[in-house]
A and B are shown apart, each in its own frame.
Chain A
Amino acid sequence: MNITFDELEKGQSIGERRVEVSRADLVRYAGASGDFNPIHWNQDFAQGVGLPNVIAHGMFTMGAAVALVTEWAGDPGAVVDYQTRFSKPVVVPNAFEDRVVPSTALTASGVIGVVDPEARTVRVDLTVTAPDLSEPDTDPATAKELKVLVKAQAVVKFPH
């Protein structure tokens, strides 16, 4: 692992990670996960069921956010528990130049919420946001950042 358990304290930051997201990411995640719900890749279908646009898989967001924790820890097998609530959809508008390009971005940051010296675990509390692109033609650079995950908590176990 990259870090020493005994040096960790509640309130410490584990850093931040920004992931640019395109429609191609959602197609790739659909194939990788087996979740082919068309709300994640077909705009007509998504809008037909009352969504503002194509939205990312909640599990894509959850998976991309925890990579901040696994890369900080230096051991992806050390995450023994990970949970979240999905509070807002991540809208992914169409963006095409000479190829599909990112149209939004996730920002994940993490802070140590609990240190348990007996179990040698820390709980990392994640804040994950994306711009509110629910209105058409919103500029992601100036859009309001929404919390798309809440109570996103990853427990990392350190060796004894």
Chain B
Amino acid sequence: MAISADVVGRTYPSIPPYLVGREKIREFASAVHATDAAHHDVAAARAAGYADLVAPPTFAIIVSQRADAALVNDPEAGIDFSRVVHADQRFTHHRPVVAGDELTAAVTVDNVRPLGSGAMVTSRVEITTVAGEKVATTVSSLLVRGEDQ
């Protein structure tokens, strides 16, 4: 099934609030082998000037992928997730994510580019606190392989 270019420019509804937990930061940091004390030790994070544990730079993907789900699961977009390859990813942090942040996020489709029988879908997720403070912008491109690719 072809990817629909009609979704370009569309912004999907925001995700329910995501509360950033200390144990999730510790778990994620351990999973990417990140040993910095600011991910694991609250006293060390506070000594470095943060309100609480600091998330690794790619932690925001948890929130981004929740927002992306609205696009990936939209029947009108026509994305077959079993044929998706992650092509590129970018994180721009307006400020670090710390434990205790209550975040929300929404995905906007920036581009759909046909590629053979498949397509490259570029989308952007704006992550903010529930109070509206900008936290991070993530941009990702998904290559959706066509039937013969």
Contact = CB atoms under 8 A, between A and B. Distances in A.
Interface residues of B, number: 38
B89 A70 contact: no
Interface string B75-115: 00000011101111111110110000000000000000000
Interface stretch (B3-11, B35-43, B124-132): B35-43
7 interchain residue pairs of minimum CB distance: A63-B32, A77-B96, A83-B90, A32-B31, A67-B34, A63-B58, A79-B57
B91 A82 contact: yes
B52 to A, nearest CB: 11
Nearest to B53: A76
Given A33-B61, A75-B38, A60 B82 contact: no
What's the interface size class on A, roughly? 20 to 34
9 contacts: A33-B65, A66-B32, A66-B56, A67-B34, A67-B56, A70-B57, A75-B48, A81-B90, A83-B88
Given A59-B58, A85-B87, A80 B92 contact: yes
Contacts of B57: 63, 66, 70, 76, 79, 82, 154
B30 interface: yes
